[in-house]
Structure 1
Amino acid sequence: MPNSSDVSAGDNILASQYNNLRKDIFDKDTGHTHTGETDKGYPVPAVGSIIMFGGSTAPEGWLICDGSAISRTTYSRLFNVIGTTFGAGDGSTTFNLPNLQNRFPMGKSGTKPLGSTGGNSGLYIDWLNSHHHSIPYSGAIAEVQPAGGGTQVWRYDPGGTDWDTGNTGNSVEPPTYDITNPYQAVNYIIKY
């Protein structure tokens, strides 16, 4: 390619020079990001890609997935990809990033639409309501001592097998049990 910034009829240019120029024009005109290679040879993730990141501050071109409301104009390329899937922001000038703080991503499906959330962060004893069980025994005197309250069951039936019911009760203070798998926290970041 000639050393000037203008290309004249009959000039030869390399395919890589043409492709880079075309990519730059395409990106500026349409707001899209190519998925080819950069000039340093690193792959370029598509806008909207989410990855784990070990730093505390997102690198240039990325935002931390913390649920923040951000400008639809400033981050128009990202807004064109995710829209209001993760929140409508103020409803007109902002939209929300995904919030992956204290959460893990799960693949969308027919029962879990894109942007949906769910799960519980703990298990509570008071979720285990008081309920009844049938208690079988046969022959002699039977005794069942419930733990933590409920009904003590005594029954004598010399004639054979019998059934009785007892209330399990639920009179303990409801502690919370952490049901989180072992983990190490990192930031999730999204390409804009």
Structure 2
Amino acid sequence: MSEPFIGEIRMFAGNFAPKNWAFCDGQLLAVSSNEALFSLLGTNYGGDGRSSFGLPEMRGRLPMHMGQGSGLSNRTLGAGPGFERVTLSLDQMPNHSHGLVASRGEADASTPAGRVLASQTDGDMPYTPTPADPVDIEDMDSRSLSPTGDALSHNNMMPYLGVNFIISLLGVYPSRN
């Protein structure tokens, strides 16, 4: 295998960082001990730039090329937007409807199972504002038309496989041209 560039990131299936490599876990390194790497990364991933600088934080993140592609939003070097869990607002929910359950059969109980609408034996509409013969009127099941759900967040992650990302601390200093 060829010698890596300083700052080169690779995926590694092991549970350790090989010699001269470090995990991309956002850790801070001393500038004085890693001047070449600092000259490439700067403070894009954290640190104060005087005594420390940060390595990229790849835990729970997907790598994405920086910049702005056609029709896409800008991706800034070192930025890590996005959330593992999100709560949708009403404005974000797609347009949808909830069905009203009814039966064409004749009603056979004043409190039918599931509290569904049914035809009446006298041919009247299922709903009469003031019935001629008052009976006990049951409310529809509250799940039929009322809002449903909670304002809880939901998981927003695609399927994934945990693999370590490592960054080369030593190697060939990359030419800028």
Normalised by the shorter chain, which TM-score bucket? 0.5 to 0.7
Asked if structure 2 preserves the Cα contact closer than 8 Å seen for 1:129 and 1:170, the reply is no
| Residue ranges of structure 1 left out of the alignment (5+ in a row) | 1-41, 136-143, 146-167
Asked if structure 2 preserves the Cα contact closer than 8 Å seen for 1:124 and 1:177, the reply is yes
Distance 1:190 1:170 in 2: 50
Q: Secondary structure at the match of 1:73?
A: helix
Task: Rate the CA distance shift 1:172–1:78 in 2: closer, same or farther, 3 A.
Answer: same
Could you list the runs of 4 or more consecutive aligned residues of structure 1 that deviate by over 3 angstroms after TM superposition?
168-172
* CA apart distance, 1:122: 2.1
Partner of 2:160: 183
Q: Sequence identity of aligned pairs in percent?
A: 31
Q: Per-residue CA shift, 1:43-78, capped at 9, x if unaligned?
A: 111011111111121001111011111100111111
For these two proteins, the number of residue pairs brought into alignment is 120
Partner of 1:18: none
In structure 2, give the amino acid aligned to 1:116: A
Q: Which has the higher strand share?
A: 1
Asked if structure 1 preserves the Cα contact closer than 8 Å seen for 2:61 and 2:80, the reply is no
* CA apart distance, 1:108: 0.6
Q: Per-residue CA shift, 1:53-106, capped at 9, x if unaligned?
A: 11121001111011111100111111011111111x244200111100011110
Partner of 2:6: 47
Distance 1:130 1:51 in 2: 37
Partner of 2:90: 128
Partner of 1:94: 52
Q: Per-residue CA shift, 1:140-189, capped at 9, x if unaligned?
A: xxxx75xxxxxxxxxxxxxxxxxxxxxx9866322332222211101111
In structure 2, give the amino acid aligned to 1:105: P
Root-mean-square deviation (Å):
3.0
Relative contact order (C-alpha < 8 Å, sep 6+): which is higher? 2
Q: How does 1:56-95 map to 2 (within 5 A)?
A: 56-87=15-46, 89-95=47-53
Q: Which has the higher helix share?
A: 1
1:117 pairs with one of 53, 59, 80 = 80
| Residue ranges of structure 2 left out of the alignment (5+ in a row) | 69-73, 101-144, 170-177
